[in-house]
Amino acid sequence: QSALTQPASVSGSPGQSITISCTGTRSDVGSYNFVSWYQQHPGKAPKLMIYDVSKRPSGVSNRFSGSKSGNTASLTISGLRAEDEADYYCCSYVGGGGVFGGGTKLTVL
Amino acid sequence: QVQVVQSGAEVKKPGASVKVSCEASGYTFTDYYIHWVRQAPGQGLQWMGWINPNSGATNFAQKFQGRVTMTGDTSISTAFMELSRLTSDDTAVYYCARAVAGPKYLQHWGQGTVVIVSS
């Protein structure tokens, strides 16, 4: 299964909103709502931020939201903060296994 | 609270095998899937597979089939991942993670285990 496609990098200023896209195919993102997003700070383990396309685990800020249209899922972070600077990975669970996107580095200017 | 603690760093020679452990606490070990994910230096996350600790069932990414073994010891609430025939390309941080919603999402991650393959 091929990796999902994410932009290598995005940036935004504090207080702004940014969106990270995650493009798959009709066989994964397009057919199932088993999309999740993970945040990873340097040297740390990933953290689950979004699951089932748009649901937030307990404790995750409501500044993080997810959506999906066709074969593309998106993560939106509103009210950017310095601590949001990290790598973000999307993941699709399909066919009994997971496939990650290549990751997007978010820089808060 | 849920905790997942992994074994320490390993240095292996090409051709050898490595076995990484993942000790779970704070929940019933057999109730949740455990996944393994790796990250090569400067690279992204790569899903390796999962184990259902209750049944022992496993599912692996095609890339690792035939070379990876995932097991669980319910008596000590610990999952294991063994990777054989190591090459330098297997140098990475290996993570285990407890899933939620069946096997679909990785919510509780271990701290990662560095595996270096070098002659």
Classify B8 as helix, strand or coil.
Answer: coil
The two most distant CA atoms of chain B are separated, in Å, by 41
- Distance from the B80 Cα atom to the nearest Cα atom in chain A, whole angstroms: 18
Q: Is B64 helix (H, G, I), strand (E, B) or coil?
A: helix
User: Tokens at residue B36, please?
Assistant: 């393994």
Q: Is the pLDDT score of A2 beyond 80? A: no
Please give the Cα distance from B13 to B18 (Å, whole number): 10
Picking from A83, A88, A81, the residue whose alpha carbon sits closest to that of residue A16 is A81
Residue B95 sits at the vertex; the CA angle it makes with A107 and A23, to the nearest 5 degrees, is 50
pLDDT tens for residues A11-35? 999 999 999 999 999 989 988 999 9
Q: Tell me whether B88 touches chain A (CB under 8 Å).
A: no
pLDDT confidence of residue A73? 97
Model confidence at A1: pLDDT above 70: no
pLDDT-flagged residues of chain B (< 70):
none
**Neighbouring-strand partners of residue A98:** A93
Query: Does residue A39 have a pLDDT over 70?
Result: yes
* C-alpha distance from A41 to closest chain B C-alpha (Å): 12
Instruction: Give pLDDT, residue B10.
Output: 98
AA identity, residue B117? V
A107 forms beta bridges with A11
What's the maximum distance between 2 C-alpha atoms anywhere in chain A?
A: 39
Residues A97, B101: C-beta atoms closer than 8 Å: no
Touching check for B35 and chain A: CB below 8 Å? yes
Interatomic CA distance for residues B90 and B103, integer angstroms: 24
Mean pLDDT of chain A: 95
Contact A97 B47 (CB under 8 A): yes
In this prediction, residue A3 carries a pLDDT of 84
> What is the average per-residue pLDDT within A34-57?
97
| CA of A32 vs chain B CAs: smallest distance (Å) | 12
State the Cα–Cα distance between residues A81 and A96, nearest whole angstrom.
36
- Across chain B, mean pLDDT equals 97
Cα distance between residue A74 and residue A65, in whole Å: 8
Of B44, B49, B110, the CB nearest to A45: B110
Strands B58-60 and B45-51: antiparallel
